[in-house]
Structure 1
Amino acid sequence: MSAKYNLRDSKTIIDFSVPTTPNSVSSTPDAPAEASLPASLPLTCSSKSVLYFTRGNRVHFKNMQTNEDIGQLFKLPDKDGNLQLLQCGGAQNSDALAISTTKGIIQLWDVRAKKMTASWSTKGVGAMQFNGSVLTVGGLKGTIRFYDTRIAMSTPTTTTNAATAKATFKMKSDLRKLNRHQSRITALAWNEPGKLLASGDESGVVYCWDNREKVPLDVGEFVQRRKKIQHLVSVTVVNWCPWQPKLLGTGDANGTLRLWDIDTSDSRSNALNPGKLELGSRITGLHFSPQCKEMITVHGTNQRAPSAPDIELDSETSSTPSISTLSPMTLSAAQMRSRTYDTSNSIVAHSFPTLRHIYTLPAANKVIMGSVMNANFTKAIIAIPEESKLKVYDVWGRLHLRRTESFMGNIR
């Protein structure tokens, strides 16, 4: 079940391409590889393991649990811009797909019926995430808005042109909006109960929000007299642990991974002193296993100049402290050693709570832009735009339960 024994190339490859825009072309040949790629990834996977991805401005889908052929959902008209983000609904609305474009248009699609159910304009989208029927949208200027998709379904308007007469739907955001961020929202994540939201931005700030409040939780480090979770560069991923709903993982463009216990009611909370790993290469994916105490990070290239060796916890020779008591850089020397593995364009598995390195698998020769997991978290699908490919990797094995006869079977 561990990634140590299961992490491997499944040899499954899917043709994939992101729409090209003027801003996605590097102006200098010596610019970092990521400079030629768009800032967001049009890739998502539903709770039914249906993968949605782009080939230019066309949205395609593939059921990862069957051998069905790849299908096309729709082609975006040129007037709407280029496809920018795709986001599936959760288990409660698994047939819902939200898309955003470079012109700030958001559309909702019923994938089973293959029809658009809502369309509206915004001032630009940096990240999207569903929480039940509510679509959370992070903007280019840091504002977070909430759209209840059930309202759109109940308020149709019809066009007056008989040639195009069909139901269309407008959407208004909830009156509540969050305004603490000062730059583009780059990552959003709801925890499993749907009560806590994490948001990261281009300036490196991460805020945690209670679903009932308009101000962020008072967690993190003191920065300009306020507490917040702060990275030195742009936040690339945020994700919550499925079996510890107040444990948050954050990653950035320099390859810094931090784990935060944000339970401020617990005296053991390490909201001020998170577990920390310097992994060297841009983190483009962070995924926790729901079945074992492990996680993987998916990496692009190293964007920093060479420096002193990074560090990681030692392997079995070290003690196994709880993540809630780990300080980022105050571990004893016996618990640290030089990191000798290269994370560039790789999938890296880590144990929890020791943060011990388990295994590194080089996954591509070109820049990995991002990744998603299938529904049961056994496979990772990574995107490599420069190769025009999606590659599928086995990560964690299925949990096999031994069947035992029920004691009720002996009762006559």
Structure 2
Amino acid sequence: MDSLVMSLREDANASNECLPFTGKRHLESGVFSGVYSAKRRRTSLASVDLSRELLPQTLTEQWTESSADRFIPARPKFSSPFNTTPRTNRLAKRWGLADERILNFSDTPSSIPTLKMHSLLRKSASELFNPPIPTPATSVTAHLARRRHAGLVLDLPNITADPLAYPLSWSANNYIAVAFGITVYYQNMDTRKTARLWTLYNNYRDSVQVLQWAGSARASLLALGSTSGKVSLCDAGAPQQTITWPLDSLGSACAIDWLDHYFAIGRETGKISLFDCRVKDGVKSVAGHKGEVHGVRWSHDGKYLASGDQYGAVYIWDARADKFLVGGGEKGRKMKHYGPVKALAWCPWKPDLLATGSIYPEGIIRIWNATSSFSPPTPIHTIALNTSVTSLHWSSHCKELLSTHGSTWSLSSNAVTPTGRLTNVPSPLANSITVHAYPSCKRLMSVQAHHGVVSHSCLSPDGTGVFTVSAGDESMKMWKIWGKRENLGKRESVFDRYAIR
């Protein structure tokens, strides 16, 4: 027996010598403490890495590489997507909703997904619930922008070719007056009856340069100015009653406009003559311009008179000043263009807003505030067109500004001729009617009105139509520009029904 025990101990010691050293001391509580094979297998399995066999490949890669950003966290690939069920996932793919609205961050830019038919259907369906903003019935986009042609065309043989003349005027009684050399005709637009109103005698070299109907209070009066400086007043109701003021040394009449019983005429010498239709004497003048006055315009409230001259200077005169109407004149506020200024227009719904336009070589529309405290005044808006601006009109029904144009030029160096003048270039603004939105100054539409320069235009009595004239095709055209604003009347208030005692 003793020999058997000794042999077993020797075999155990021999087996322990073959085991690796684990750093732990084996307990010898019994005879079989060092020969238990199962414990050895567990110890050997502890040194084997089973993570690659038991865990998914995606999980190990997710934890080793991160594509997270500072602001956009990375969505784990093994997490549950938004479309959790197979049915919702299948429907999302069919309607193009899968992975379109999930914000992911990646180092490389993702490619734009191709539009599918279902995506297009979804977008078209969303447009049904978000209809576009309707076009206002008063805007030009609802009238001229759709038809783009004149409503009436009349021939004007031998019309003046001067683009700075005022040969056309539209009265509050719906009369159109046109000057042909020394003769003035007018037509009743309601009955289409035409009659000769006035003829300039005693000077075969003279011609009518400017004409303008009076306001609604005296709508039958027509003021005339000739190239010799003669000023006359005609009455369409009584053509034989004509008033003519004697010639003076102020030069030819170049611009004209009415205010109540006064009318102002810009002169070649740079002065502005003021006439009172009620008296034959007492002509007054305002001095300030150094060049020929091409445009004069009274504000709608009668507080200011704007004038523009050959050198681009624009003056705003305060009609309430004591020295303005008694002679001598008082200098107004000066504003500057870099081209001759003929086009002037006061805003009807904001009386202190003035629009001015210049011709070659500038071609710019500027909008000013007459009550601005800046000295010198700075324009509120500037619209660069590189096109001659011959006339301007504000709409009384919507916030839009109309301009008529002549030739267009280029500012590039290769467009300069050997004489130093800029050459004309094709442009949609040339010889056109253009309407701008306010205050964005966005161009709403532009229509070519004539084959030549649109030298002048006048607004209809209701403020919806415009007559244009051009010597290039010897015609005048009537255009429907705006629509009338609906008169909703006075809004009824609770104070209109009940009285407070």
How does the TM-score come out when normalised to structure 2? 0.62
State the one-letter code of the partner of 2:345: N
Q: Give the distance between the partners of 1:360 and 1:405, measured in 2 at CA.
A: 37
| Paired-residue identity, % | 27
State the one-letter code of the partner of 2:260: G
Q: Give the distance between the partners of 1:212 and 1:376, measured in 2 at CA.
A: 29
Contact 1:19/1:57 (CA < 8 Å) preserved in 2? Answer: no
In the alignment, which of 186, 192, 198 is matched to residue 68 of structure 1? Answer: 192
1:200-257 deviations in Å (ceiling 9; x for gaps): 0001000001013333344xxxxxxxxx211111012111111111111000003200
Which residue number corresponds to residue 301 of structure 2?
193
In the alignment, which of 356, 371, 391 is matched to residue 285 of structure 1? Answer: 391
Secondary structure of the 2:141 match is: helix
In the alignment, which of 473, 486, 491 is matched to residue 400 of structure 1? Answer: 486
Task: Say whether residues 1:4 and 2:153 are aligned partners.
Answer: no
Secondary structure of the 1:92 match is: helix
Task: Say whether residues 1:85 and 2:210 are aligned partners.
Answer: yes
Say if 1:305 and 1:79 are closer, same or farther in 2 by CA, change over 3 A. Answer: same
Which residue number corresponds to residue 352 of structure 1?
438
Q: Give the distance between the partners of 1:404 and 1:257, measured in 2 at CA.
A: 37
Query: How far did 1:264 drift?
Result: 2.9
Q: Give the distance between the partners of 2:159 and 2:433, measured in 1 at CA.
A: 25
Q: Give the distance between the partners of 2:363 and 2:191, measured in 1 at CA.
A: 36
Secondary structure of the 1:244 match is: coil
More strand as a share of residues: 1
Name whichever of 135-144 and 48-57 sits farther off.
48-57
Q: Give the distance between the partners of 2:219 and 2:439, measured in 1 at CA.
A: 32
Task: Say whether residues 1:264 and 2:372 are aligned partners.
Answer: yes
Query: Which structure 2 residues correspond to residues 81-230 of structure 1 after superposition, within 5 A?
Result: 81-120=206-245, 121-122=247-248, 123-152=251-280, 171-174=281-284, 177-213=285-321, 214-218=329-333, 228-230=334-336
Which residue number corresponds to residue 450 of structure 2?
364
State the one-letter code of the partner of 2:398: C
Structure 2: tracts of 5 or more residues without a match: 1-137, 322-328, 415-425
Task: Say whether residues 1:299 and 2:401 are aligned partners.
Answer: no
Name whichever of 48-57 and 359-368 sits farther off.
48-57
Which residue number corresponds to residue 356 of structure 2?
250
Secondary structure of the 2:142 match is: helix
Query: How far did 1:17 drift?
Result: 4.1
Query: How far did 1:402 drift?
Result: 5.5
Which residue number corresponds to residue 153 of structure 2?
13
Query: How far did 1:279 drift?
Result: 1.3
1:291-341 deviations in Å (ceiling 9; x for gaps): 111111111111555479xxxxxxxxxxxxxxxxxxxxxxxxxxxxxxx96
Query: How far did 1:83 drift?
Result: 1.3
Q: Give the distance between the partners of 2:200 and 2:331, measured in 1 at CA.
A: 36
Contact 2:436/2:443 (CA < 8 Å) preserved in 1? Answer: yes
Which residue number corresponds to residue 177 of structure 2?
52
Contact 1:96/1:111 (CA < 8 Å) preserved in 2? Answer: yes
Name whichever of 358-367 and 340-349 sits farther off.
340-349
Which residue number corresponds to residue 37 of structure 1?
162
Which residue number corresponds to residue 164 of structure 1?
none
State the one-letter code of the partner of 1:255: G
Say if 1:356 and 1:56 are closer, same or farther in 2 by CA, change over 3 A. Answer: same
State the one-letter code of the partner of 1:93: R
Which residue number corresponds to residue 163 of structure 1?
none
State the one-letter code of the partner of 1:250: T
RMSD: 2.7
Using CA pairs under 8 Å that are at least 6 residues apart, name the structure with larger relative contact order, 1 or 2.
1
Q: Give the distance between the partners of 1:144 and 1:410, measured in 2 at CA.
A: 53
Secondary structure of the 1:192 match is: coil
How does the TM-score come out when normalised to structure 1? 0.74
Paired residues in the alignment total 333
Which residue number corresponds to residue 27 of structure 1?
none
Contact 1:16/1:54 (CA < 8 Å) preserved in 2? Answer: no
Name whichever of 45-54 and 288-297 sits farther off.
45-54
Which residue number corresponds to residue 322 of structure 1?
none
Q: Give the distance between the partners of 1:210 and 1:288, measured in 2 at CA.
A: 21
Say if 1:295 and 1:347 are closer, same or farther in 2 by CA, change over 3 A. Answer: same
Contact 2:163/2:456 (CA < 8 Å) preserved in 1? Answer: no
Q: Give the distance between the partners of 2:241 and 2:158, measured in 1 at CA.
A: 21
Which residue number corresponds to residue 240 of structure 1?
346
Q: Give the distance between the partners of 1:53 and 1:184, measured in 2 at CA.
A: 23
Q: Give the distance between the partners of 1:93 and 1:78, measured in 2 at CA.
A: 29
More helix as a share of residues: 2
Contact 2:159/2:471 (CA < 8 Å) preserved in 1? Answer: no
Q: Give the distance between the partners of 2:409 and 2:240, measured in 1 at CA.
A: 41
Query: How far did 1:76 drift?
Result: 2.4
Q: Give the distance between the partners of 1:91 and 1:405, measured in 2 at CA.
A: 28
Which residue number corresponds to residue 32 of structure 2?
none
Q: Give the distance between the partners of 1:395 and 1:263, measured in 2 at CA.
A: 30
Q: Give the distance between the partners of 2:266 and 2:340, measured in 1 at CA.
A: 15
Say if 1:410 and 1:194 are closer, same or farther in 2 by CA, change over 3 A. Answer: closer
Which residue number corresponds to residue 29 of structure 1?
none
Contact 2:159/2:474 (CA < 8 Å) preserved in 1? Answer: no
Contact 2:388/2:406 (CA < 8 Å) preserved in 1? Answer: yes
Secondary structure of the 1:180 match is: coil
Q: Give the distance between the partners of 2:153 and 2:170, measured in 1 at CA.
A: 16
Structure 1: tracts of 5 or more residues without a match: 21-35, 153-170, 219-227, 309-339
Contact 2:165/2:210 (CA < 8 Å) preserved in 1? Answer: yes
Q: Give the distance between the partners of 2:226 and 2:217, measured in 1 at CA.
A: 25
Secondary structure of the 2:287 match is: coil
Q: Give the distance between the partners of 1:259 and 1:407, measured in 2 at CA.
A: 38
Q: Greater CA radius of gyration, 1 or 2?
A: 2
Say if 1:115 and 1:406 are closer, same or farther in 2 by CA, change over 3 A. Answer: farther
Q: Give the distance between the partners of 1:114 and 1:60, measured in 2 at CA.
A: 11
Q: Give the distance between the partners of 1:250 and 1:307, measured in 2 at CA.
A: 27
Say if 1:358 and 1:69 are closer, same or farther in 2 by CA, change over 3 A. Answer: same
